[in-house]
Chain A
Amino acid sequence: MHNEDDTADTLGLHFFGNMTASISHEIKNALAIINENGGLLGDLVLLMEKGRPLDPERLKTMSGNIRRQVQRADDIIRRLNRFAHSAHEPATSIDVREIFDFTTALAARLATMKGVTMTIAPGPPVQMEVRPFQLENLLWLCLKHLFVVTEGSQSVEFAVAESGADILISLRFGTDLPVAEIGARVAREGQPLLAALQAKMQIDTSVLQLKIPKKLED
C-alpha cells in the first residue's frame, strides 16, 4: 500500500518489507527441505533397524541435498545482510550492472511466481554515483508494477548506457505489455524516488527508460 504523501524513506520501508518477506519465504523453503531430508534419514534408519538394508547411495544423495540447501540458505542470508546494510549506505560510485545483479537476485523468487524472466544485457561497466538502495528501490518499483499488470509469461531485460553526463537505464519488456501503464504506476508511486535520483522517465512501445545524472547535483 502507498499514498501520495509517501516519501523516498517510506517507499524504502515498503521495499524493505517486500524484500524481507520474500527472502524469509526462501529461507523457510530451504529449512523445509533440510527438515524433510533429516526426517527421511531418520525414517530410513528406523527401517534399517527393522532389517531393511540402507543404500549408501541414498545417504550420499540426502547428504548432498542438505549441504546444498545449507549453502542456499547461506547465500540468501548473505544477500539479506548486504541488503540490510545498503539501506543506510551513502551515495557511492558503483557499476550500474552490479545494481541490476543485486535487484534481480532480490526479486528472483517473486519474478518466478509471476512467470517473469529477467535478464541483464551485457556491456562494459557503467559507473554512477548513487545511493544504491534508492536505485534498487526504483528498479524494484518497475518490476513490482510489471508483476501487477502481467498476466502470463513475460520477460524484461535490463540495459544501461552512458549519455553525456547521464546514464540511461532501459527496461525492455516482452510483447503485449501495457508499458505506458507500468510507467504511469511507477511515476505515481515512485515520484519521491524519481525526484531524489533526479530521474526522468520515458516510455516507448516496449521500453521504459530512466535517465539519471551520473552524479547528483546538490
Chain B
Amino acid sequence: MRVLLVDDEVELVSTLAERLDMRGIAATWVSDYRAALEAVEKEAFDIGLLDVRLPEMNGLELKRLIEARRPGMKFIFLTGHGSEEDFKACTAESGKEYYLIKPVQIEVLMAKLNEIAQS
C-alpha cells in the first residue's frame, strides 16, 4: 500500500511515515500542498492522508486537485481542529469514516488504512 502523508507539522508527519514504514506501508511525506501535487505527478499513491488545515490551501481543496490528477485515489482527513465546521466539510466529501482527529493511535490509523484499501 502506498500512502502520501501531507501535514505542515514536519516532526509529526515524518515520524508517522517512519512508523507506517515499519508496518509495511510505503509512506511518503510532504509538508505543503505544492510538494503534495509534485509527489502525485511523479508517483501513484493508493491513499492520501491529508491535514485539513494546511498553509495556503486546505486539505479539501488539495484533495480535489489531487483527484483531478489521480482519479481513484482515496483519502483520509487528519485534523487537530475537531470543529463541527471541519467535520461537516470533510464528511460531506468522503463519509465520516475518513475523518480522524489528532492525536491518532497508530492501530486506529492502520485499521482505517486497511479498511479503505480493501473497500
Among residues 33 to 70 in chain B, which have CB atoms less than 8 Å away from a CB atom of chain A?
Answer: 53-56
Q: In the complex, are the beta carbons of B102 and A40 less than 8 A apart?
A: no
Q: In the complex, are the beta carbons of B56 and A31 less than 8 A apart?
A: no
On A, residues with C-beta under 8 Å from B are 21, 24-26, 28-29, 31-37, 39-40, 43, 47, 65, 69, 112-115, 152-153
How would you classify the secondary structure of chain B's contact residues: helix, strand, loop or mixed? loop
Q: In the complex, are the beta carbons of B22 and A43 less than 8 A apart?
A: yes
Q: In the complex, are the beta carbons of A28 and B56 less than 8 A apart?
A: no
Is there a chain A Cβ closer than 8 Å to B9's Cβ?
A: yes
Contacting residue for B81 out of A21, A31, A36, A69, CB 8 A: A21
Is there a chain A Cβ closer than 8 Å to B117's Cβ?
A: no
Q: Can you name the residue of chain A whose Cβ is closest to the Cβ of B82? A: A28
Minimum distance in angstroms from A114 CB to a CB of chain B: 7
Is there a chain A Cβ closer than 8 Å to B15's Cβ?
A: yes
Contacting residue for B19 out of A26, A43, A115, CB 8 A: A43
Q: In the complex, are the beta carbons of A37 and B81 less than 8 A apart?
A: no
A33-B19 contact, Cβ under 8 Å, with A21-B81, A21-B83: no
Contacting residue for B15 out of A24, A26, A40, CB 8 A: A40
Q: In the complex, are the beta carbons of B15 and A36 less than 8 A apart?
A: yes
Minimum distance in angstroms from B5 CB to a CB of chain A: 11
Q: In the complex, are the beta carbons of A114 and B56 less than 8 A apart?
A: yes
Q: Can you name the residue of chain B whose Cβ is closest to the Cβ of A152? A: B56
Minimum distance in angstroms from A3 CB to a CB of chain B: 19
Residues of A within 8 A of B82 (CB): 24, 28
A40-B12 contact, Cβ under 8 Å, with A25-B53, A113-B55: no
Q: In the complex, are the beta carbons of B103 and A35 less than 8 A apart?
A: yes
How far, in whole Å, are A35 and B103 apart by their CA atoms in the complex? Answer: 7
Q: Which 7 A-B pairs have the closest CB atoms?
A: A28-B80, A35-B103, A32-B102, A32-B103, A36-B15, A115-B56, A25-B80
How far, in whole Å, are A188 and B106 apart by their CA atoms in the complex? Answer: 47
Residues of B within 8 A of A33 (CB): 9, 11-12, 15
Contacting residue for B102 out of A31, A37, A112, A115, CB 8 A: A31
Minimum distance in angstroms from A1 CB to a CB of chain B: 11
